[in-house]
């Protein structure tokens, strides 16, 4: 059974720090990996999509990388801001995405 694990479950950092969120998956034949952000009481917003033939994607202060051989993806957030506070989820799959349980991030002003 495919599983997606995210560590840590929660993280608090001071504003301005660079941070890394981790996602690991058991499916070696990974197709695509997406990182999402979820604010309390809201839906999910897709941040970055890494397709199977790619190794990383960047958008502004966010960079996501994918290492299929180790079954890991990381989301790097540069110069964190209080507005980055949210839950970050990774999901692996094709159309049938398997979601991790998320990392709750709090950036302190």
- Sole window of 20-28, 59-67, 71-79, 90-98 interacting with other proteins (rule: CB under 8 A): 90-98
Q: Is 61 in the site for other proteins (CB under 8 A)?
A: no
**What's the min distance (Å) between Cβ of 40 and other proteins?**
11
Cβ 24 vs Cβ 5: under 8 Å: yes
> Any contact of residue 34 with other proteins (CB under 8 A)?
yes
| Binders in 11-30 for other proteins, by CB under 8 A | none
Q: Is 96 in the site for other proteins (CB under 8 A)?
A: yes
* Residue 80 or 89 with smaller CB distance to other proteins: 89
Residues ≥6 apart with Cβ < 8 Å to 10: 103, 104, 105, 106
Sequence-ordered list of residues with C-beta below 8 angstroms from that of 34, at least 6 positions apart, any chain? 46, 47, 48, 49, 50, 90, 91, 97
């Amino acid at each position: 059974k495919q599983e997606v694990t995210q560590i840590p479950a929660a993280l608090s950092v001071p504003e301005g720090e660079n941070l890394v969120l981790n996602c690991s998956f058991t499916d070696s034949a990974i197709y695509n990996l997406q990182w999402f952000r979820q604010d309390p009481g809201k839906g999910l917003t897709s941040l970055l999509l890494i397709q199977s033939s790619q190794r990383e994607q960047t958008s502004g202060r966010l960079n996501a990388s994918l290492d299929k051989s180790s079954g890991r993806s990381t989301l790097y957030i540069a110069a964190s801001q209080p507005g980055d506070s949210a839950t970050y989820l990774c999901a692996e799959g094709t159309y049938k995405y398997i979601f991790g349980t998320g990392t709750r991030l709090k950036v302190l002003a």
